[in-house]
Structure 1
Amino acid sequence: MDFISIYSQQIARHINGMLSVEEIAEMMEEPKLTQHGDLAFPCFQLAKHMKQSPNEIAKWLAEKIKSPSIAKVEAIGPYMNCFMNKKRASKQILRTIYHQKQAYGTHQFGEGKTITIDFSSPNIAKPFSMGHLRSTVIGNAIALIAEKCGYQTVRINHLGDWGTQFGKLIVAYERWGDEKTVKANPIQALFALYVLFHEKAEKHPILNEEARACFKKLEDGDGEATQLWTWFRKESLKEFTKIYELLGVTFDAYTGEAFYNDKMQDVISMLQERDLLVRSDGADVVNLEEADLPPCLIRKSDGATLYATRDITAALYRQVHYQFDKAIYVVGQEQAIHFQQVFLVLQKLGFDWAGNMVHVPFGFMLKDGKKMSTRKGKVVLLEEVLAEAVKLAEQNIEEKNPALGNKADVAKKVGIGAVIFHDLKHDRQNSVAFNLEEMLQFEGATGPYVQYTHARACAILRKAPVSQDMVEGLDDEFSWPVIKKLHHFPEIVMASLHSYEPSKIARFLLELSQEFNRYYGKVKILHDDPHLHDRLVLVACSATVLKEGLRLLGIHAPEEM
């Protein structure tokens, strides 16, 4: 049952085509005050067509609208407000959710289509910091939401496993490194060398030239440089895999920058054949003046390739191998111009599918109000944060529910879920302040609060399971806000995908949890009366939507806490 559609069609019948059903639906609002009904239609636009005041039109229309699904319509100033038939609507909504279970909120518009999602993409030989969390959890949530909408997704981890930083790292290892130390603790040891290189290079800039020369040797296939690079990559992937397992994140491909080394010349040749490459200060670039963008640098004067060269090559490879209908890049907002350049170069090459490539930017993870920097060693290691989160969750469970049988497993789900939810509840374009205390609070706008609400619903159902499929409907004032919220879940899923904004689902789950807990506090759910069964169905539907919503964010929903 779509409230907006029913109400919009009713209005359209009486206004002789002045506005379409779709236009009416777009104008519909939800009143801030519950006493003003469930939907409000502003009559300002009709006033232009009908040459009457919006207040008069609202009164006239209110008398015309009649439907079994609508209990009452009244004019409130220039608005015509609609009160849905709670019993009838709740019966339909609860029955739908109860029968569909976790399939509720599923859409089919993505069926038969493929989306590639490029996300996470940490740099080899650097620790997985809190700064990498954002791309990882935002990308994973978008993939899960896209799958809910019918898309086949290809999750790609475009590892930062090539570039001048490897020249720096090899120089640092050869000058100050020790094989035994690196083998004992690879990421920490290599990271320490990377930081040390930048400290030394500030006083001795010649080291940067040495690093560039070393990277050129690596590009040319030098045996010793390649051996070191292979070792650094292998050890880093082992460490990253541990993090991804903790977060419950998987990938279909780990094709990083180095994968495209032998494929870039074809792209350069293609650009030359189309007369798109021009020389600029010894380098090869594609001019993008028509889009008011700086030139896209394809090849430096020393012959070395750049990020743009690799991303253009990667896009061509992905289109051939995955035939994507849409390609999404979940990469920080500081790369916005880079992706504008890459997409435009592909369009200039004549590839129509380049119009279906999307950069999904996000803000920084801040520590003490500043962006974290791997060069200066100012990072907070994600693995340490996750371990601390699990530890604190375990302490909290020990205090509140010492008899819980599977404390370690629940603590893991709650602690890691808290970290993920803390990130995803923010609009992705906003920067997020790293605050361990805030993200681990078990009350307020947090993941544990939503998980606890789900566990509370499960506890009720353990005491009194739903015994039959029949639903009669509820019309009390406390159940209706919960039912209305549940009804919105499918549209929230769709809106979240269209805006690439998992925070819409996170905020929805917080609002649903608040409404459910308010209901729990006001109503004796297990009271033995004719409405007991329907109340239990409402609890079951709430548990279903909370669990499915958390799943779409990459978070588990324990049944006990």
Structure 2
Amino acid sequence: MRYKSEVAKQLHSVLPELSIETIESLLEKPKHEQHGDLAFPCFELAKTMRKAPAQIAAALAENLDADIFTKTEAVGPYVNFFLNRNIVSKDIIAIVLEEKEAYGSHTNGIGKTMVIDYSSPNIAKPFSMGHLRSTVIGNSLKQIGEKCGYQVVGINYIGDWGTQFGKLITAYHKWGEEDKVKQHPIKELFRLYVRFHEEVKEHPELENEGRAWFKKLEDGDKEALKLWTWFRSESLQEFSRIYDLLGVKFDSFNGEAFYNDKMDKMAEFLEQKGLLTESEGAQVVMLEDEQMPPCLISKSDGATLYATRDLAAAMYRQGMYKFDRALYVVGGEQSLHFQQIFSVLRKMGYKWVDGMTHVPFGLILKDGKKMSTRKGRVILLEEVIAEAIALAKKNIEEKNPALANKDEVARQVGVGAILFHDLKNERIHNIEFSLEQMLKFEGETGPYVQYTYARACSLLRKAAYEPQEASALTDDNSWSIIKLLEAFPNVVATAFARYEPSHIAKYVLDLAQAFNKYYGHVRILEEDAEKSARLALVYAVTVVLQEGLRLLGVDSPSEM
């Protein structure tokens, strides 16, 4: 809270032994509104002052006096502070009206660069629900990073290399037909990929054929390269359509293949620094001191591995972007891999590795199980998006058939439902896939927040409101909203510090619920002395709801 520091300064004047920062960290929000707006617990002081916490609280409450709060009271071991609603409400609304969409911004990232590696689907496979989490979490962190002043580079590290392409080429030669692939590229390539893994159970020699074809691909074989290039081109077209639907953009599509000519140099660097060790014919970097298994750099046949490529990618990105932070929005099952990568870079003596972070997330499960492209247990994201948009369109036709731009609003609401359903959950948790839950248009959902925004915009249109000078509002319903508006900059900072978009999602839900309660209890458009102040509050809500949704990658239709 903006006013935490003011209250902390007042407490510091009577508790000079505690720093303002320490006091601010101890201040908390009371569970019940009747206990004020901020509370200071006195348990810690009891140890040094050798008094009961309740005694300390009573003494502090008597000695505090400032314009910023109207009352202080001791309740047991707590000092409760009641902020001056006149001052705070006018101040907060004025700031939002002045700063508009810039409200909640921070400057700590100005002059710094952050790269985010996210989405990164494999080519020749359909874009499934399993790819959704990395895509939407990464996209949201990109917006939040920019809000905090960083220049953010979004990287889609496409999975366009590896032994799976040897398997796919083998499958295409055995069972593929050119016309079928041309007609439905991704669908047909996916069918071949699944068939390979079914056939290999009966014919294990297929694994060797797949490995051989990948080696040919690595060695530049014309037939292998021709097929790989075709598969890649078709896949990128498919992905672009999905990203356009989701409203997700990238600054770089340099995938795994981009680093092919940088792999040998990476191995040379490691050799020069004396970090490579031979183990059973393979080249590894030992990580015994870090209590981790060795990091494999190349296999006994000379083929490179993911680690080599990720090391080369990190080196390239630092050289290219001079990043201060680098985020890898990749599933939690890859945690050991990234610990190894960061440890190897540290052993190489690179200080910039301290700015690199793996941002893990849980899985989207189907019937409690992980989705698997090998087994064909996959839900196609495009089909889910289409169904969500169709449901949104149906709702619009029923409730507001005269709405202009129905198709565009249906897209915004349908896609918003999917994105919000993911981002309202803490990223580390698994999510059970449920189309019914995802597409609900009431409760804790994206469409609920969007509808709240549209409702507020409708009020402003009816009143022909133009932003003007802010006035104070002191009633309980207004105060609940004002405290939430005041908290927005801190929510943004916390979401960035923890790389946790769910903080933003939960915040906009709280703000939407507080506004709807306000709407139900207050006659906003009534002609009286406070009408302009109420409309200014409504306008401030639209500004912050729209900006909060934008940070999640969700659109805000002004009519629904």
Q: Quote the Cα distance in structure 2 between the aligned partners of 1:139 and 1:452.
A: 25
| Residue number in structure 2 paired with 1:3 | 3
Question: 1:329-344 residue pairs with structure 2 within 5 A?
Answer: 329-344=328-343
TM-score, normalising length: structure 2: 0.99
Asked if structure 1 preserves the Cα contact closer than 8 Å seen for 2:491 and 2:503, the reply is yes
Q: Quote the Cα distance in structure 1 between the aligned partners of 2:399 and 2:79.
A: 49
Q: Quote the Cα distance in structure 1 between the aligned partners of 2:248 and 2:373.
A: 23
Q: Quote the Cα distance in structure 2 between the aligned partners of 1:441 and 1:401.
A: 18
Code of the aligned partner of 2:552:
L
1:345-395 deviations in Å (ceiling 9; x for gaps): 111111110111100000001111111000000100001100100000000
Q: State yes or no: 1:256 paired with 2:240.
A: no
Code of the aligned partner of 1:59:
A
* Residue 425 of structure 1, CA deviation: 0.4
| Residue number in structure 2 paired with 1:413 | 412
Q: Quote the Cα distance in structure 2 between the aligned partners of 1:282 and 1:5.
A: 61
Code of the aligned partner of 1:223:
K
Asked if structure 2 preserves the Cα contact closer than 8 Å seen for 1:465 and 1:536, the reply is no
| Residue number in structure 1 paired with 2:141 | 142
| Residue number in structure 2 paired with 1:395 | 394
* Residue 226 of structure 1, CA deviation: 0.5
Q: Quote the Cα distance in structure 1 between the aligned partners of 2:92 and 2:258.
A: 50
> Which range moves more in the overlay, 402-411 or 100-109?
402-411
| Residue number in structure 1 paired with 2:377 | 378
* Residue 465 of structure 1, CA deviation: 3.1
1:398-441 deviations in Å (ceiling 9; x for gaps): 11111212211100000000000000000000011111111111
* Residue 109 of structure 1, CA deviation: 0.6
Question: 1:477-492 residue pairs with structure 2 within 5 A?
Answer: 477-492=476-491
| Residue number in structure 2 paired with 1:236 | 235
> Secondary structure of 1:81's match?
strand
Asked if structure 2 preserves the Cα contact closer than 8 Å seen for 1:159 and 1:257, the reply is yes
| Residue number in structure 1 paired with 2:297 | 298
Asked if structure 2 preserves the Cα contact closer than 8 Å seen for 1:18 and 1:49, the reply is no
Asked if structure 1 preserves the Cα contact closer than 8 Å seen for 2:363 and 2:431, the reply is yes
TM-score, normalising length: structure 1: 0.99
| Residue number in structure 2 paired with 1:284 | 283
Question: 1:174-323 residue pairs with structure 2 within 5 A?
Answer: 174-323=173-322
> Secondary structure of 1:297's match?
strand
| Residue number in structure 1 paired with 2:111 | 112
1:269-293 deviations in Å (ceiling 9; x for gaps): 1111111111111100000011111
| Residue number in structure 2 paired with 1:87 | 86
> Secondary structure of 1:488's match?
helix
1:126-184 deviations in Å (ceiling 9; x for gaps): 00000000000000000000001100011101000000000000000000000000000
Code of the aligned partner of 1:163:
G
| Residue number in structure 1 paired with 2:325 | 326
Residues 419, 70 of structure 1: alpha-carbon distance in 2 compared, 3 angstrom cutoff: same
> Which range moves more in the overlay, 206-215 or 465-474?
465-474
Q: Quote the Cα distance in structure 1 between the aligned partners of 2:366 and 2:467.
A: 52
> Secondary structure of 2:95's match?
helix
Asked if structure 2 preserves the Cα contact closer than 8 Å seen for 1:473 and 1:534, the reply is yes
| Residue number in structure 2 paired with 1:13 | 13
Q: Quote the Cα distance in structure 1 between the aligned partners of 2:402 and 2:325.
A: 49
Q: Quote the Cα distance in structure 2 between the aligned partners of 1:135 and 1:206.
A: 35
* Residue 466 of structure 1, CA deviation: 3.0
| Residue number in structure 2 paired with 1:361 | 360
Residues 55, 277 of structure 1: alpha-carbon distance in 2 compared, 3 angstrom cutoff: same
> Secondary structure of 2:297's match?
strand
> Which range moves more in the overlay, 461-470 or 148-157?
461-470
> Which range moves more in the overlay, 404-413 or 126-135?
404-413
Question: 1:443-462 residue pairs with structure 2 within 5 A?
Answer: 443-462=442-461
Asked if structure 1 preserves the Cα contact closer than 8 Å seen for 2:144 and 2:551, the reply is yes
Q: Quote the Cα distance in structure 2 between the aligned partners of 1:468 and 1:226.
A: 60
Q: Quote the Cα distance in structure 2 between the aligned partners of 1:6 and 1:262.
A: 57
| Residue number in structure 1 paired with 2:473 | 474
Asked if structure 1 preserves the Cα contact closer than 8 Å seen for 2:115 and 2:323, the reply is yes
Asked if structure 2 preserves the Cα contact closer than 8 Å seen for 1:467 and 1:533, the reply is no
Asked if structure 2 preserves the Cα contact closer than 8 Å seen for 1:414 and 1:451, the reply is yes
Question: 1:26-45 residue pairs with structure 2 within 5 A?
Answer: 26-45=25-44
Code of the aligned partner of 1:286:
V
Asked if structure 1 preserves the Cα contact closer than 8 Å seen for 2:133 and 2:361, the reply is yes
> Secondary structure of 1:55's match?
helix
1:88-127 deviations in Å (ceiling 9; x for gaps): 1000000000111101001111000000100000000000
Asked if structure 2 preserves the Cα contact closer than 8 Å seen for 1:389 and 1:440, the reply is yes
Residues 529, 115 of structure 1: alpha-carbon distance in 2 compared, 3 angstrom cutoff: same
Asked if structure 1 preserves the Cα contact closer than 8 Å seen for 2:2 and 2:487, the reply is no
1:223-281 deviations in Å (ceiling 9; x for gaps): 00000000000000000000000011111111000000011101101111111111111
Question: 1:468-547 residue pairs with structure 2 within 5 A?
Answer: 469-547=468-546
Percent identity of the aligned residues? 59
Q: Quote the Cα distance in structure 1 between the aligned partners of 2:401 and 2:93.
A: 35
> Which range moves more in the overlay, 158-167 or 65-74?
65-74
| Residue number in structure 1 paired with 2:433 | 434
Asked if structure 2 preserves the Cα contact closer than 8 Å seen for 1:308 and 1:338, the reply is yes
What runs of 5+ residues in structure 1 fail to find an aligned partner? none
Q: Quote the Cα distance in structure 1 between the aligned partners of 2:471 and 2:273.
A: 68
> Secondary structure of 2:261's match?
coil
Q: Quote the Cα distance in structure 1 between the aligned partners of 2:439 and 2:115.
A: 33
| Residue number in structure 1 paired with 2:76 | 77
Asked if structure 2 preserves the Cα contact closer than 8 Å seen for 1:9 and 1:21, the reply is yes
Residues 450, 468 of structure 1: alpha-carbon distance in 2 compared, 3 angstrom cutoff: closer
Code of the aligned partner of 2:357:
V
Q: Quote the Cα distance in structure 1 between the aligned partners of 2:471 and 2:169.
A: 71
> Secondary structure of 1:359's match?
strand
The CA RMSD over aligned residues, in Å, is 0.8
> Which range moves more in the overlay, 444-453 or 59-68?
59-68
> Secondary structure of 2:304's match?
coil
Q: Quote the Cα distance in structure 1 between the aligned partners of 2:183 and 2:465.
A: 55
Code of the aligned partner of 1:362:
F
Asked if structure 1 preserves the Cα contact closer than 8 Å seen for 2:97 and 2:467, the reply is no
Code of the aligned partner of 1:11:
L
Asked if structure 2 preserves the Cα contact closer than 8 Å seen for 1:140 and 1:249, the reply is yes
Q: Quote the Cα distance in structure 1 between the aligned partners of 2:439 and 2:526.
A: 35
Residues 468, 435 of structure 1: alpha-carbon distance in 2 compared, 3 angstrom cutoff: closer
Q: Quote the Cα distance in structure 2 between the aligned partners of 1:466 and 1:398.
A: 29
Q: Quote the Cα distance in structure 1 between the aligned partners of 2:546 and 2:147.
A: 14
Q: Quote the Cα distance in structure 2 between the aligned partners of 1:160 and 1:125.
A: 9
Code of the aligned partner of 1:120:
S
Q: Quote the Cα distance in structure 2 between the aligned partners of 1:380 and 1:528.
A: 53
Asked if structure 2 preserves the Cα contact closer than 8 Å seen for 1:18 and 1:46, the reply is no
Code of the aligned partner of 1:296:
C
* Residue 467 of structure 1, CA deviation: 4.0
Q: Quote the Cα distance in structure 1 between the aligned partners of 2:342 and 2:44.
A: 40
Code of the aligned partner of 2:549:
L
* Residue 18 of structure 1, CA deviation: 2.1
